[in-house]
Amino acid sequence: MKSSLLILLVFSLMTNGNLSKNNSAFSVVGSTPGDSAVKRMLGIKSDAVIDFIRWELDFKPDQSFTLAIQYGENQPNTLSFKQGGIQQKIEGKYQVSATEEWQELYTLKSKDGKVVLNLAAINANIFHILDYQNQLLVGNAGWSYTLNQKSDQSGGVIKFKSSGTQSAESKLVFEGRTPCQEFTILHPEMKASTDCFKIKWRLILNRDPKTGLPASCTTRNIVDNQPRDVVGTWDLLKTPRANIYQLNLPGLQDPILLMEADTNILYFLDDKQNLLIGNKDFSFTLNRK
């Protein structure tokens, strides 16, 4: 009798756990590049001219999803597309699984089977699109392959473990664009105007050629269309989940923190080492150049 009750209890816990995961509806948004790999994933013609793709992805309680994308050429000096771009809607089902690399891997398949996407949950607020080898897709100086929760889920727990493999190169270069106001609240010394909506970044990390240890770093960020080049130092902080790069820059009261997802992707952190959440236009991600 006790054995039967134990089996029922375990089954109940497993079922309730699955239902709790499947019953959570949420939405993620973001803007990504439109390179050949993503075109294939989304069933977009290979010769389509795309500067970026804007995503709005809704996950529903019945494990269905609705993806609305808009893409085309960027209208210069705006966040819009030339002639409004092209809009497309994709519906289907998704599954959540666990792998050695990813604690939560979301696999999306459209109803017609033509679209298959894999997204890794970095935490409850940050999702990253994967390539066909289930590695994080690398963006460019304009956009990243990160999608962001529309509403903060207070999901500070990191849901993956970085490979920890570090590049032995003496010079690493990362680029990207991030939201402005959310970042300059943490670093008011940057003195951004209230109209600032993006920061352009170029980060150079130098290692000592003899010891391989962190040495100098240079950040070039463009705030309010004003380029600023700052030279400082950086430190490597090791945590159980991932390495953190600490940039010590003159003029800033607190260091800038970046989490290493792999050798190609860095995510910005706040002063409590929580991942910063982007918006529909930009993510807090830097991409290896």
**Could you give the residue range(s) of every CATH 2.40.128.640 domain in the chain?**
26-149, 171-288
Q: What is the CATH number of domain 26-149?
A: 2.40.128.640
pLDDT digits (tens, 9 = 90+) for 49-77: 999 999 999 999 999 999 999 999 999 88
pLDDT in tens, the chain (289 residues): 444 433 333 333 333 333 334 458 999 999 999 999 999 999 999 999 999 999 999 999 999 999 999 999 999 888 899 999 999 999 999 999 999 889 999 999 999 999 999 999 999 999 999 999 999 999 999 999 999 998 877 666 888 877 655 666 899 999 999 999 999 999 999 999 999 999 999 999 999 989 989 999 999 998 988 999 999 999 999 988 889 999 999 999 999 999 999 999 999 999 999 999 999 999 999 999 9
How far apart (Å, rounded) are the C-alpha atoms in residues 39 and 166? 30
Four-way CATH pick for 171-288: 3.90.228.20, 2.40.128.640, 1.10.8.60, 2.50.20.10 = 2.40.128.640
Q: Both ends of the chain: CA-CA distance in Å?
A: 63
pLDDT digits (tens, 9 = 90+) for 244-268: 999 999 999 999 999 999 999 999 9
Instruction: Check the CA dihedral 136-139-145-146 and report its sign.
Output: positive
